[in-house]
Structure 1
Amino acid sequence: MTSFATDDVIRQMAEALSTRRCPIKTFPQLISLRVTPDGELFEDGAGALSCHAPGHGDLTFALRRSGILKDFRDRGGRVLMMSNVDNLTATLDPAVIGAHLESGAALTAEMAPKEPGDQGGAPARVDGKPQIVESFRFPKDFDQERIPVFNTNTFVLDAEAIDADFPLTWFAVNKTVDDKPAVQFERLVGELTAFLEPAFLRVERHGPDARFQPIKIPEDLHKELPGIVKALEARGSL
């Protein structure tokens, strides 16, 4: 899934790498407009409207709109995997796919052990139903450290189950654009666990079986590169 800012470059790269045996298809996510804290359309320093990509919660909506999901299902496809582009060790793994199929769940979410400073969604029960709850949605008096794992944003998805519209929540996110406060609305893919039957799979974040080593800034790549190479070599990806 691409954004309006990256679609052209990624599509061209995908077309160059695509083969008959391993075709690569891309599809753009949706586009939204930022607003001011008062609810008016936000204008950037040049007086233009300010576009933004409204979060990875677009996945199922954009995938269906593109026609790729229908084509995949029509060809007999059953299972899809999603991961963040910056998580370089979240590779396609037969063991993970097998665990998903054996669970019988519509969605499997990978969970990694927490380390100091980690923040993010975590598995919890809401009205008795297990699902991913984002950190900002927990009650303020709840000690999130009681949950030893958190969401890596890597999922295995049943193609038939996600071929539907889901009433995902739009979350307001405060931003600063051109030194001015702005608000954008985003959806989060982890909320699919509130509407589908989920399974949660604990994965490693270090060593040859590592599946969570995200790269947020260039310095992270330099720091994590030896571990990433070790993990990818161990599974034959390098």
Structure 2
Amino acid sequence: MKAHAVRFGATLALVALLAACSQQAPTPSVGEPTAAPTPQSAQQQFFDAIASHCGESFAGRLVSTDAADADMANEAMTMHVSSCSANEIRIPFNVGENRSRTWVLTRTEQGLRLKHDHRHEDGSEDAITQYGGDTASEGSATRQEFPVDAESIALFTANDMQVSNTNIWAVEINAERFAYELRREGRLFRVEFDLSQPIATPPPAWGA
């Protein structure tokens, strides 16, 4: 009688074990496709592509031909992806001996933001600084556009620079090139940098 009870108890335990196993998620067989990971947004891919060059510097050149930029055409141009965090990338842009400019790319709840940090040689802020705009669309992994924001329009208007109130800035990146662009009706400024040839780190931006 005791032996029968032991065998009966063992049978119940085996049944319970088999039932538990049947409730587990099936293991994919060899060659069976698994669920694809959630793809990153175009803006996240764009941000990460720039951040992948953190600490690196590159030489660039003016590729637009506006007469307003004639004095810059023969100047040496460099960019340095100087600091990167999860939500901000800072890129000083030097033109000749002028180290007043830093592009600041920031992640926001709505998308991406581009601002221009302009400094004097003593590190103090220029009167025209912290201007830029936010993305108005998803853009692509290689190009993002930043229409001028209300804060910048107010700054330009207060300084009699209404011509800049329709600015659209753009940044591009791919395996070979980084580009910065400003355009509005009758105006185009564009510089391109060769990402295939890193250079020595240039002097830091004023105020850095």
**Fold similarity call, TM over 0.5:** no
Q: TM-score range by the shorter chain?
A: under 0.3
Query: Which protein is bigger by CA-based radius of gyration?
Result: 2
Q: Which has the higher strand share?
A: 2
Q: Which has the higher helix share?
A: 1
TM-score, structure 2 as length reference: 0.26
